Chains A and B, each alone.
Chain A
Amino acid sequence: MSILVDERTRLAVAGITGREGSFHTLNDRRYGTNVVGGVTPGKGGQDVEGIPVFDSWAEAMAEAQPNTAMIFVPPRFAADSILEAAAAGVALVIAITEGIPAHDELRVYNMLRRDHPGTRLIGPNCPGILSPGKANVGIIPASFFKEGNVGVVSRSGTLTYQIGNEIARAGFGCSTIVGIGGDPVPGSSFVDVLELFEADEQTELVVLSGEIGGSAEEEAADYIAEHMSKPVVAYIAGFTAPAGKQMGHAGAIVSGSAGTAAAKAQALEARGVRVGRTPTEAAEIAVEVLGGASVPAP
């Protein structure tokens, strides 16, 4: 198994004709992901190294039946592209685009719930999803990961690579790595993804990597305590971040006394989740729980 993306994935990409869009789409295809089309208004009929380009999501759906959409268009067009993909009936939309206005994200989130409850959104401002050995949708460098039993869910891309790589060096692999993104209104939260990992046979342990801002980690802590049978190991970034300053991600900001790393780590630990003080320690705890040796020095 694994979650969200695998051999059954039929991927179409909005923004496939752009520089970044085509680069990463072709990378994903080289990994083995089944890429069935692209969407760029006005460029229908063209192709990107054999991948057919359509003018709209409706047309892409009629011609190529994608079940997964990747959004690579600039921020001002991204919200409409997500909604258009959902309206065409795409079940999973993965939005890589960074810099979408928060109000657009709010509109998208609430419209999907009201009008397209069958569509799940991951991101925006995320690195995508990788199920090692099966499919890669997004920009996660697949070479650092191998197939295995650890599920990873994270608000940060590079931090995921850091932790995942340390777990791989200790001899363990991943079922699926899910980047939920660093924006204030993500389409899917930690809880949504934890629920999928709990139900996934391949996954035996989940690593959750959070950061300052919002309360998604606190909500995850409650969910883990009440609904998860599988062990979860956490890492939280941003203990030294000053209040009121946005730390790179639009969602990474301590507002007043809310959203601090200390409060998140505390909430998780109070619910019995072990929290690593460094990415390395989080990986070591994960390896220990899995019953392996501690991470050898590289």
Chain B
Amino acid sequence: MDLLEYQGKQLFARHGLRVSSGKAVTTVEDARKAAEEVGYPVVVKAQVLIGGRGKAGGVKLAADAEETAMHAGNILGMDIHGHTVNTLWIEHASDIATEYYASVLLDRSAKKPLVMFSVEGGVDIEQVAEESPEKLIRHHVDPLEGLSREEAREIARRGGVDPDVVEGVADALVALYEVWKAEDATLAEINPLIVTPEREVKALDAKVSLDANALYRHPENQSLADGENEDPIERRAKEEGVQYVKLDGDIGILGNGAGLVMSTLDVVAQAGGSPANFLDAGGGSDAEKIKQAVELILANDAVKAVLFNIFGGITRGDEVAKGLIAAFDEIRPSVPFVVRLDGTNDVEGRRLLQEAALPNVHAAQTMNDAAELVVALAAGQKGAEVHV
């Protein structure tokens, strides 16, 4: 679960990391009021979950009320690489002497938290890692011990920070680790971490991802993330507890098990089609859940055909068939369906479907056959003459 900059900064402040005072607003009028409160000059910053805001014109300096209103008006509603700007963060502008980079993330390979630090801040860190890896300090932390002040100082020294800010940088690193740990983050990143002319160390940006599986112990974080830019079908799926990811294509996909669904998307793409979604109906899906899933898939207007790919383990083929029959009774879909049922109770499931003789529902024997058939149907190359 990725957080907007201002939400990340709120978490930073909660754990003693220095950030500039600011306010999140959604209108030009409120932007002006916020600027008065935090004091000019201010920075007007687009709040979107995508990099490259500055280059896209989503971050502007304003010296007075007039400039604030102008920039706020321009940036609100702006499209930044497909993300609409609905919220602005108005923050008191900082003087910058130096820009560093700092992050804490979960290193899946080492199975330890990884602290990364560089004096080359304010630029793309993947580029630093590639072009001058010696300037990127990587330090694994024992998660059972945490990051000690001494370790943090050592990271700052190894990174080559100005001697007078070793303590300030160490403070920031310890606080950033605390954010990562206490908030169940998978990533907590500051780019840039700045040093002001007064030699104060401050987070000028914030990129935080939280673990959705841990939200039950952080009720105060439940409402975070960019709800405005969230896809409405994805939001509805989340509320219904269905694993759904919207994609760009026109073939709706339902399968059971994350791996099988990912594989189904690939096989459809290899057959020349373009999947409209990922939907994992999960283990042990009953008829009601299947109906709910069909509704979600068809909520996307782009869908021209739907593929059910079920390999029953805990999921039973007869339950899937019943769910599909119930869904057809209520929804009466206008697009063709291809159904491949294998595994537990597959024979019974196929028999139920055959008896129901649902209009425009085609059976396929294998995953590959099913993919080819659904691609042809979506392209309008086959119609009612396709035999079951």
Do A and B bind?
yes
Using an 8 Å CB-CB cutoff, how does the interface string of A159-190 with B read, 1 for contact, 0 for none?
Answer: 11110010000000000000000101100000
Assess the B342–A165 pair: CB atoms within 8 A: yes
- A155 at interface (Cβ–Cβ under 8 A)? yes
Residues 334 to 388 of chain B near chain A (Cβ within 8 Å): 342-344, 365-368
Interface residue ranges of B147-202 to A (CB < 8 Å): 181, 184, 186
B contact residues around A239 at 8 Å (CB): 265-266, 269
Chain B proximity of A54: nearest CB distance (Å): 27
Question: Which B residue sits closest to A251, measured CB to CB?
Answer: B108
* Chain B interfacial positions (CB closer than 8 Å to A): 2, 106, 108-109, 111-113, 126, 142-144, 181, 184, 186, 211-214, 216-217, 243, 245, 247, 255-263, 265-270, 275, 278, 280, 283, 311-314, 342-344, 365-368
Name the residue of chain B whose CB is nearest to the CB of A111.
B144
Residues of B within 8 A of A250 (CB): 211-213
Known A239-B266, A250-B212; further 7 A-B contacts with Cβ < 8 A:
A101-B211, A103-B184, A106-B143, A209-B259, A211-B258, A238-B262, A278-B368
Given A102-B186, A237-B266, A240-B266, A159 and B257 contact (CB-CB distance below 8 Å) = yes
In the complex, what distance in Å separates the CA atom of A212 from the CA atom of B266? 12
**Contact B111–A103 (Cβ < 8 Å):** no
**Which residues does chain B contribute within 8 Å of A160, judged by CB atoms?**
259
State whether B247 touches A242 (Cβ < 8 A): yes
Q: Judge whether A182 and B184 touch: CB under 8 Å.
A: no
9-residue interface stretch from A33-41, A55-63, A85-93, A139-147: A139-147
- Asked if A197 is at the interface (CB within 8 A of a chain B CB), the reply is no
Asked if A102 and B211 sit within 8 Å, CB to CB, the answer is yes
* With contact pairs A278-B270, A298-B366 given, residues A157 and B257 touching in the complex (Cβ less than 8 Å): yes
Q: Given A139-B313, A161-B343, A256-B126, A106 and B269 touching (CB < 8 A)?
A: no
In the bound complex, CA of A116 to CA of B211 (Å): 27
B184 and A102 contacting across the interface, CB-CB below 8 Å: yes
CB neighbours (8 Å) of A257 from chain B are: 126
- Which 7 residue pairs spanning A and B have beta carbons closest together? A156-B259, A248-B258, A158-B257, A159-B259, A101-B214, A158-B260, A237-B262
A102 close to B368 (CB less than 8 A): no
Is B243 within 8 A of A297, CB to CB?
A: no
Q: CA A297 – CA B142 in complex, angstroms? A: 52
Taking a contact as CB atoms under 8 Å apart, the answer to whether B368 and A158 are in contact is no
- B109 contacts A103, C-beta separation under 8 Å: no
**Chain B residue nearest to A103 in the complex (CB):** B184
With contacts A107-B143, A248-B261 taken as known, whether A215 is within 8 angstroms of B108 at the C-beta atoms is yes
Q: Which residues of A contact B143 (CB under 8 A)?
A: 103, 106-107, 110
Q: Does B144 contact A110, Cβ atoms closer than 8 Å?
A: yes
User: Shortest distance in angstroms between B123's beta carbon and chain A's nearest beta carbon?
Assistant: 15
A249 and B108 within 8 A (CB): no
Chain B residues, CB < 8 A from A157: 257, 259, 283, 313
* 17 A–B contacts from the bound complex (CB under 8 Å): A100-B213, A102-B106, A102-B213, A106-B111, A127-B313, A155-B259, A158-B311, A159-B263, A161-B343, A162-B260, A238-B265, A240-B266, A242-B247, A245-B245, A251-B108, A252-B258, A279-B263
Asked whether, in the complex, the Cβ of A140 is within 8 Å of the Cβ of B258, the reply is no
Question: A214 an interface residue at 8 Å Cβ cutoff?
Answer: yes
> Is A230 an interface residue when CB atoms closer than 8 A count as contact?
no
| Chain B residues within 8 Å of A249, by CB | 258-259
CA distance A117 to B367 in the complex (A): 42
Question: What CA separation (Å) do A66 and B217 show in the bound complex?
Answer: 32
Knowing A110-B143, A141-B343, A248-B280, the reply to whether A241 touches B265 (Cβ < 8 A) is: yes
Q: How far is the CA of A170 from the CA of B344 in the complex (A)?
A: 19
CB distance from A103 to the nearest CB of B (A): 5
CB of A68, distance to nearest CB on chain B (Å): 21
Question: What residue of chain A has the Cβ atom nearest to residue B259's Cβ?
Answer: A156
Contact B211 A141 (CB under 8 A): no
Instruction: Tell me the smallest distance from the CB of B215 to a CB of chain A, in Å.
Output: 9
Task: Tell me whether B366 and A144 are in contact (CB under 8 A).
Answer: no
Flag whether A267 is at the interface (Cβ < 8 A): no
Of chain B, the residue at the smallest CB distance from A179 is: B259
Whether A219 is near chain B, meaning CB under 8 Å from some CB there, is: yes
B170–chain A nearest beta-carbon distance, Å: 23
> Please, which residues of chain B bring their CB within 8 A of the CB of A279?
263, 367
**Across the interface, which residues of B come within 8 angstroms of A140, CB to CB?**
313
Q: Is the CB of A99 within 8 A of B213?
A: yes
What residues of chain A lie closer than 8 Å to B257, measured between beta carbons?
Answer: 156-159, 248
Counting chain B CB atoms within 10 Å of each CB, the highest count among A103, A111, A158 belongs to: A158
* Among A103, A156, A216, contact of B258 (Cβ-Cβ < 8 Å): A156
Task: Contact check, B213 vs A75: say whether CB atoms are below 8 A apart.
Answer: yes
**What's the least CB distance linking B112 to chain A, in Å?**
7
Q: Which of B267, B268, B344 has the most CB of A within 10 A?
A: B267
Asked if A72 CB lies within 8 Å of chain B CBs, one says no
Q: Give the docked Cα–Cα distance between A154 and B280 (Å).
A: 18
**A154 contacts which chain B residues (CB < 8 A)?**
259
- CB distance B278 to A247 under 8 Å? yes
Q: What 1/0 flags go to A101-122 for Cβ under 8 Å of B?
A: 1111011011100100000000
| Interface status of A280 (Cβ within 8 A of chain B) | yes
Q: How far is the CB of A136 from chain B (nearest CB, A)?
A: 12
Chain A 259-284 interface mask (CB, 8 Å, partner B; 1/0): 00100000000000000011110000
* Closest beta carbon of chain B to A288's beta carbon, Å: 17
Taking a contact as CB atoms closer than 8 A, the residue among A102, A182, A213 that contacts B214 in the complex is A102
Contacts of A8 in B (CB 8 A): none
Please give, as numbers and ranges, the residues of chain A lying within 8 Å of B266 by CB-CB distance: 237-240, 261, 278
A245 to B234, CA, bound (A): 11
A76 interface residue per 8 A CB criterion: yes
- Given A155-B259, A251-B108, also A139-B283 (CB < 8 A): yes
